[in-house]
């Protein structure tokens, strides 16, 4: 299974060696808290993205664990110290174990 | 109690309150469910970190004083650290002590992060404290707290 | 940078400072014989001249505007300017009762003094003063700034979405503005103004909700009198809370104090000789910000409509309060030496409409702007039989009239009316024209809803709004004055904390306490919710006044205030 929505990522394409760059990510998701009741009074079951991970050249460097208090369409920004050229992989994982991935290349001059 | 709920989230019976500027986000997040109290959450946090002492400072917790939208409250945190192999921030845990489920997020940093800084958006059911606990690579803990007011707004100025 | 000693030894000396401070000017000249030249008298010119107007609320023509008789400060702001009224205000600033100063700055003897000294403001009068100062100084030494809430507050501004005032500001040669009520025209319209107007629309504190990126230019640098002046804009930080967020759904606001510090530092690093913050924070927020952000020379304050004849110094920062509705034009001359501000002279210039010869070009522009609406504006609905005013923390007679109209026309037990600070004043005997009603109601979300609420819910509303006014930390305050209530009385202890201030809610009709679980019919306007149904409030007020013919409102005694 996969998370249907396409994530969006903002990463600078280039950086200087040693430069700390900011990475911004967004993904569309209801983040159903499991605390809400529908019109019939039935609890809407929890369905959230619970983990986000960022890796560079296959090595994870930042992980966020999200709980039901995280807003719908979760936004996450964080930082990375650029050393060498390579590729970022970003992974979102939901309660059912489904995943969505995005990637971005970085050139270090 | 924010006025700014999406219409789709607000049952019609709350419409009157919404008009007058009163609608409870708590009702959306947790119908008929008790919200956590400050003391309960403080206790839970203590247990989670085995009662270890927590220092002050180091964490800069940047939150709006007043939420513009209780469903989307920006949180920006920054922990002071050289972020070297020898000395870095391992994790940061964020709690909201007035939400039905107080745990908000956990970040796990590495020296490759460059700086222990991140931003996200969270839901706040009512006026409450947001608490961040940072764990350093040497096991030391630091905490910071900030209040966010969730209001019905209106009255222009 | 600036120290008191610098000022005293800067050549102007204390005597010059006082003479140029506006204090006692009118007294020295004598009530009746004031001339335009007297208003323009100023001490020694500075390297450049800052002119500040703010919160004009689209008042094109002169009007009466009564300053508040209740303007409570809490926390650090308790009992200090601008939270002084009437005799306390006069005493603090060394002014005498009965003078033009007392008339323009306080509510003391308002009706009588208004009859003596006449209406104030009018953009044609402001234009005359600005032109004269530019002529005196040279246009290359004068910077004209607007602190926001200029584009909203009248029928013509509502009908043109602020284009009337864009034309006025263009004709005035405005250099930059900031925003608050402007945002109630919606994001598209504000973007259009930002892109088309010949002046800058600045805001360092607005971000896109999606990626947290700046929406407006944060600052602009001007060269005047050979000095580089960085002007940093600050929009009203609580706009999406105090006004409908759905009109600007993709923008986030906030005070963003750290970002302000970054802007100030960047301005200094970029070679600015003077850093000016054009702010719509409100005075108490600016006072706190001045104590926490370093390197600001001047904050031109707005939003809270305070007018003060002297600047307030917070550390090395000067705070200017120019009032509202076009009643005042502030002139601040700064001396710049070795890339620093070394001295200043300030004058709050009262815009007495009977003393100033209108600028003919601007007078024509105003006539052209109002012409399409002339019939509506002139329509006389009835007469005021008592002073009708709005400004004050808890109630005003104009709002009492609106509440009465709402209760009658919507058949409600209780009326709620927002605590806006804007809207003109009518003297006893004055006609109540549609123009005057629009001046107190012309907003883009005027629907008058009708609903039911329990006593408990009403109390929660009052508590919540009270906390937005009386939270001891100004950074936690937002919006305007207290929501006005009709049909209900209450007691408020402003010294208490959130949820603890309001008590003794009483239904005035029966004299009985409001019951927590009982349901009451409530009607009100200016809800910030989307898709609100109901007629525009001005229609109700028009019907009410037309039926009543004369409106006499006794001073409101149903709100009991303690803890001040």
Q: Which residues pair with C548 in a beta bridge?
A: none
Mean pLDDT of chain A: 95
Answer whether C480 touches B (CB < 8 Å): yes
**Cα separations (Å) of C446 from B6, C11, C243, C435, C535?**
20, 54, 12, 16, 8
- Residue C67, both tokens: 């300053």
Which residues of chain B are under the pLDDT cut of 50? Answer: 1-13, 22-32
Name the closest residue on chain A to residue C213, using Cα atoms.
A24
Strand-pair category, C519-525 with C340-350: unpaired
Instruction: Pick the residue of A71, A75, A83 with the most B CBs within 10 A to test the interface with B by mutation.
Output: A71
Residues near C150 by Cβ (< 8 Å), separated by ≥ 6?
C53, C54, C55, C56, C57, C58, C165, C169, C177, C182
Interface size between A and C, measured as CB pairs under 8 A: 7
DSSP secondary structure code for residue C501 in this structure? S
pLDDT of residue B14: 52
**A and B: number of Cβ contacts within 8 A:** 105
State the pLDDT confidence band at A3, using cuts at 50, 70 and 90.
Answer: confident
Q: Is B157 within a domain?
A: no
For residue B62, the model assigns a pLDDT of 95
B27 contacts chain A (CB < 8 A): no
What pLDDT sits at residue B24? 42
Q: Which residue of C has its CA nearest to A27?
A: C210
Which residues are registered as beta bridge partners of C201? C177
Question: Does A12 touch chain B if contact means CB atoms closer than 8 Å?
Answer: no
Chain B touched by C479 (CB under 8 Å) = yes
| Alpha-carbon torsion (C434, C452, C246, C395), positive or negative | positive
Strand partners, C521: C452
Q: Distance from B154 to chain C by nearest Cα, in Å?
A: 4
Distance CA C476, CA C473 (A): 6
Query: Structural domain of residue B99, as residue ranges?
Result: 34-148
Residues of chain C neighbouring B61 (CB-CB closer than 8 A): none
**Does domain C4-81+120-367 bear CATH number 3.60.21.10?**
yes
* Among candidates C212, C236, C476 on the partner chain, residue whose Cβ is nearest the Cβ of B149: C476
Residue C14 C-alpha from the chain's centroid: 30
If we measure between CA atoms, which residue out of C120, C128, C479 comes closest to residue C325? C120
pLDDT at B155: 73
What is the reported pLDDT for C13?
A: 30
| pLDDT value at residue B34 | 61
| Chain-chain contact of B113 with A80 (C-beta, under 8 angstroms) | yes
Domain assignments of chain C as residue spans, ordered by start: 4-81+120-367, 379-562
Q: How many CB atoms lie within 10 A of CB C60?
A: 24
pLDDT (tens digit, 9 = 90+) per residue, C340-375?
Answer: 999 999 999 999 999 999 999 999 999 999 999 999
Q: What is the pTM of this model?
A: 0.92
C10 pLDDT band (50/70/90 cuts)? Answer: very low
Q: CATH assignment of C379-562?
A: 3.90.780.10
Partners of A80 on chain B (C-beta within 8 Å) are 112-114
Q: Which of A65, A66, A81 sits opposite B112 (nearest CB)?
A: A81
Looking at the predicted structure, is the pLDDT value of residue C396 above 80? yes
Number of domains in chain B: 1
DSSP C235: -
- Whether A105 and chain B come into contact, CB under 8 Å, resolves to no
**Token pair in block for residue B72:** 């989307």
Long-range CB contact pairs, A98-103, < 8 A, 24+: A98/A1, A98/A2, A98/A3, A99/A2, A99/A3, A100/A2, A100/A3, A100/A5, A100/A6, A100/A7, A100/A27, A102/A6, A102/A7, A102/A8, A102/A9, A102/A25
In a domain, B64, yes or no: yes
- Shortest distance between the Cα of C336 and any Cα of chain B, in A, equals 36
Q: Are B22 and C461 a contacting pair at CB < 8 A?
A: yes
Per-residue tokens: C154: 């009248």
The torsion angle over the Cα atoms of residues B81, C211, B101 and B7, rounded to 10 degrees, is 160
Tell me how close the Cα of C134 comes to any Cα of chain B, in angstroms: 32
Nearest by CB to B153, from C209, C457, C528: name it.
C528
Q: pLDDT, tens digit, for every residue of C50-63?
A: 999 999 999 999 99
Instruction: Report the 10 Å Cβ neighbour count for B77.
Output: 23
Looking at residue C555, its pLDDT comes to 87
Query: Which residues between 78 and 107 in chain A have a beta carbon less than 8 angstroms from any beta carbon of chain C?
Result: none
Q: Tell whether C461 is within 8 A of chain B (Cβ).
A: yes
Q: Is B33 on the interface with A (CB under 8 A)?
A: yes
Tell me the per-residue pLDDT of C426-448, one tens digit each, with 9 for 90 and over.
999 999 999 999 999 999 999 99
A22 touches chain C (CB under 8 A): no
Question: For C526-545, what is each residue's pLDDT tens digit?
Answer: 999 999 999 999 999 999 99
Query: Could you give the percent of chain A with pLDDT greater than 70?
Result: 99
Question: Picking from B44-48, C18-22, C179-183, C515-519, which range would have the lowest pLDDT averaged per residue?
Answer: C18-22
- From the candidates A24, A71, A76, A78, which should be mutated to test the interface with C, based on the most C CB atoms within 10 A? A24
Q: Nearest CA of chain B to the CA of A64: how many Å? A: 5
* Averaged pLDDT of chain C: 94
Using an 8 Å CB-CB cutoff, list chain B residues near A81.
83, 111-114
Q: How far is A105 from chain B (nearest CA, A)?
A: 16
Touching subunits of B (3+ CB pairs, under 8 Å) are A, C
Q: Which residues sit opposite B105 in a β-bridge?
A: A66, B94
Q: Are B56 and B144 in contact (CB under 8 A)?
A: yes
Specify the pLDDT at position C28.
41
- What pLDDT score was predicted for residue C355? 97
Tell me, yes or no, if C210 comes closer than 8 A to chain A by beta carbon: yes
Region of C459 please: left (phi>0), alpha (psi -120 to 50) or beta: alpha
Nearest beta carbon to residue B109 from set A20, A62, A76 = A62
Q: How distant is the Cα of C528 from the closest Cα of chain A, in angstroms?
A: 22
Choose the CATH number for A8-34+44-108 among 2.130.10.10, 3.40.50.1950, 2.40.160.40, 2.60.40.10: 2.60.40.10
**Does the pLDDT at position C36 exceed 90?**
yes
Mutate: best of C183, C288, C396, C529, partner B, most B CBs <10 A: C529
Chain A residues touching residue C211 (CB < 8 angstroms): 10, 24, 26
pLDDT tens readout for residues C240-281? 999 999 999 999 999 999 999 999 999 999 999 999 999 999
- pLDDT at residue B19 in the model: 63
CATH number of B84's domain: 2.60.40.2470
Assess B103–A contact: CB distance below 8 Å, yes or no.
yes
Residue C73 confidence (pLDDT) = 96
Looking up tokens 């001249």, which residue turns up?
A: C49
Q: Which two tokens stand for residue C9?
A: 């030894």
- Does the residue B19 lie in any domain? no
Q: Which pLDDT does position C30 carry in this prediction?
A: 46
Nearest chain C residue to A23 by CA distance is C211
Report the pLDDT value the prediction gives residue B154, as an integer from 0 to 100.
76
Minimum-distance CB partner of C419 among B64, B69, B155: B155
Query: Distance from B106 to chain C by nearest Cα, in Å?
Result: 21
């Amino acid at each position: 299974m996969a998370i249907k929505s396409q994530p969006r990522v903002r990463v600078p394409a280039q950086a200087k060696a040693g430069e700390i760059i900011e990475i911004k990510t967004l993904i569309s998701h209801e983040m159903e808290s499991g605390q809400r009741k529908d019109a019939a009074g039935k609890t809407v079951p929890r369905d959230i993205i619970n983990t986000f991970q960022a890796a560079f050249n296959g090595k994870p460097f930042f992980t966020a664990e999200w709980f039901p208090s995280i807003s719908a369409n979760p936004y996450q920004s964080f930082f990375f110290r650029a050393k060498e050229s390579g590729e970022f992989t970003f992974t979102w994982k939901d309660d059912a174990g489904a995943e969505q991935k995005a990637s971005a290349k970085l050139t270090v001059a | 109690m924010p006025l700014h709920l999406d219409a789709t989230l607000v049952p019609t019976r709350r419409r009157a309150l919404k008009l007058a500027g009163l609608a409870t986000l708590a009702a959306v997040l947790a119908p008929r469910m008790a919200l956590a109290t400050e003391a309960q959450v403080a206790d839970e946090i203590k247990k989670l970190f085995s009662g270890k002492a927590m220092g002050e400072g180091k964490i800069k917790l940047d939150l709006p004083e007043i939420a513009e939208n209780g469903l989307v409250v920006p949180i920006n945190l920054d922990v002071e650290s050289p972020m070297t192999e020898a000395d870095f921030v391992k994790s940061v845990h964020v709690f909201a002590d007035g939400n039905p489920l107080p745990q908000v997020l956990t970040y796990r940093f590495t020296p490759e992060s460059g700086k222990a800084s991140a931003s996200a958006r969270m839901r706040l059911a009512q006026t409450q404290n947001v608490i961040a606990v940072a764990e350093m690579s040497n096991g030391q803990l630091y905490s910071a707290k900030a209040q966010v007011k969730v209001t019905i707004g209106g009255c222009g100025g | 940078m600036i120290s008191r000693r610098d000022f005293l030894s800067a050549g102007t000396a204390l005597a010059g400072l006082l003479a140029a401070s506006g204090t006692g000017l009118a007294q020295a000249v004598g009530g009746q014989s004031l001339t335009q030249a007297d208003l323009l008298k100023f001490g020694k010119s500075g390297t450049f001249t800052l002119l500040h107007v703010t919160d004009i609320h689209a008042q094109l023509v002169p009007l009466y505007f009564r300053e508040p008789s209740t303007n409570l400060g809490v926390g650090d702001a308790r009992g200090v300017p601008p939270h002084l009224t009437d005799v306390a205000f006069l005493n603090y600033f060394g002014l005498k009762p009965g003078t033009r100063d007392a008339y323009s700055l306080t509510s003391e003897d308002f009706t009588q003094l208004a009859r003596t000294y006449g209406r104030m403001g009018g953009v044609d009068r402001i234009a005359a003063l600005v032109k004269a100062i530019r002529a005196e100084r040279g246009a290359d030494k004068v910077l004209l700034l607007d602190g926001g809430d200029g584009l909203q507050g009248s029928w013509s501004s509502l009908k043109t979405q602020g284009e009337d005032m864009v034309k006025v500001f263009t004709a005035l040669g405005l250099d930059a503005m900031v925003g608050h009520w402007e945002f109630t025209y919606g994001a598209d319209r504000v973007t259009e103004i930002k892109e088309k107007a010949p002046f800058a629309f600045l805001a360092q504190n607005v971000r896109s909700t999606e990626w947290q990126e700046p929406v407006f230019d944060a600052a602009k640098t001007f060269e005047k009198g050979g000095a580089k002046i960085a002007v940093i804009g600050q929009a009203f930080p609580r706009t999406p809370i105090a006004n409908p967020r759905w009109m600007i759904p993709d923008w986030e606001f906030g005070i963003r104090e750290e970002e302000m510090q970054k802007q100030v530092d960047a301005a200094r690093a970029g070679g600015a000789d003077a850093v000016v913050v054009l702010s719509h924070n409100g005075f108490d927020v600016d006072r706190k910000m001045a104590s926490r952000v370093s390197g600001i020379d001047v904050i031109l304050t707005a939003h809270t409509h305070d007018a003060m004849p002297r600047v307030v110094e917070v550390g090395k920062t000067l705070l200017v309060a120019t009032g509202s509705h076009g009643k005042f034009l502030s002139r601040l001359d700064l001396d710049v030496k070795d890339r620093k501000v070394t001295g200043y002279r300030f004058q709050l210039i009262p815009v007495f409409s009977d003393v100033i010869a209108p600028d003919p070009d601007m007078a024509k522009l105003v006539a052209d702007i109002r012409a399409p609406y002339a019939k509506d504006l002139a329509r006389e609905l009835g007469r005021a039989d008592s002073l009708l005013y709005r400004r004050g923390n808890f109630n005003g007679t104009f709002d009492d009239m609106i509440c009465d109209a709402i209760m009658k026309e919507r058949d409600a037990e209780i009326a709620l009316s927002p605590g806006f600070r804007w809207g003109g004043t009518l003297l006893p005997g004055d006609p109540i024209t549609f123009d005057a009603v629009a001046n107190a109601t012309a907003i883009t979300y005027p629907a008058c809803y009708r609903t039911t609420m329990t006593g408990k819910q009403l109390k929660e509303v009052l508590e919540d709004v009270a906390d937005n006014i009386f939270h001891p930390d100004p950074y936690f305050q937002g919006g305007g004055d207290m929501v006005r209530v009709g049909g209900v009385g209450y007691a408020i202890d402003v010294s208490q904390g959130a949820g603890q201030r309001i008590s003794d809610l009483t239904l005035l009709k029966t004299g009985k306490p409001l019951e927590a679980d009982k349901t009451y019919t409530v009607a009100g306007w200016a809800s910030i919710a989307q898709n609100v149904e109901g007629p525009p409030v001005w229609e109700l007020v028009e019907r009410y006044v037309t039926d009543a013919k004369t409106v006499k409102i006794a001073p409101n005694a149903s709100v009991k205030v303690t803890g001040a």
